[in-house]
Structure 1
Amino acid sequence: MPRRGSLLGRLPPLADAERFEALLETPCGRVERIVSFGHASPPGFWYEQAEDEWVLLAAGSATLAFEDGTKLTLAAGDWIILPARQRHRVDAVSGDAVWLAVHLRTGQARDQQQDSGNAG
């Protein structure tokens, strides 16, 4: 039976932190919904993932900051590709932000994920 849902439906209740929900996960990557409640990244915190990431801001608004000082403001419907190891943070985000993130595992990142899955 196919699994289905609504990206903007049945949002979790307000929380102290962003909520991450895996919608699909395979050895090649992960698709997740992220619901932000106005929570920006903590001071000094940087995301630096091993995977390439395609991110769509489906609702709300946000500003991403990059290690080189660049800032990028996103509105609902905007998307960005973040290469693996691109240090970034959420500088500001609206209380109604919903993201769709696609993490693509290629080469070494996929091999590391498979190795960690087989270790248990």
Structure 2
Amino acid sequence: MERIASRAQADPPGQWYDQAGDEFVLLLAGAARLAFADGTERALAPGDWAVIPARCRHRVAWTDPARDTLWLAVHLPPA
């Protein structure tokens, strides 16, 4: 489990997270967009959450430049 703080952060285009286990993310404050390798994006506001399945390539496309974005991420062990 980890708490992540970011502001005006985005992963470089073409850089993907590809994790062996599922991940649960909860946006606590701020705003963000997650991008997925299939070309879709998901906007997150406070209280929004996502379960990212193992091996689902994803990256942070954008976080709010005007205020901190706070995340809670829970990394589950590989099945």
Letter of the 2:73 counterpart: A
TM-score (norm 1): 0.61
Q: Which residue of 2 aligns with 1:73?
A: 43
User: Does the 8 A contact of 2:26 with 2:48 survive in 1?
Assistant: yes
**Pairing partner for 1:94 from 59, 64, 67:** 64
Q: Does residue 1:84 correspond to 2:54, yes or no? A: yes
Greater CA radius of gyration, 1 or 2? 1
Equivalent runs, 1:1-120 vs 2, <5 Å: 31-95=1-65, 96-107=68-79
Runs of 5+ consecutive residues of structure 1 not aligned to the other structure: 1-30, 108-120
**4+ residue stretches of structure 1 with deviation over 2 A?**
none
CA RMSD in angstroms, aligned pairs only? 1.0
Identity of aligned residues (%): 58
Residues 74-103 of structure 1: per-residue CA shift (max 9 Å, x gap): 001100000011100111111410000001
Can you give the 5+ residue segments of structure 2 that lack an aligned partner in the other structure?
none
- Relative to the length of structure 2, the TM-score reads 0.91
Aligned length: 77
Residue-by-residue CA offset, 1:50-87 (whole Å, 9 max, x unaligned): 11100001010011111111111000110000001110
More helix by share: 1
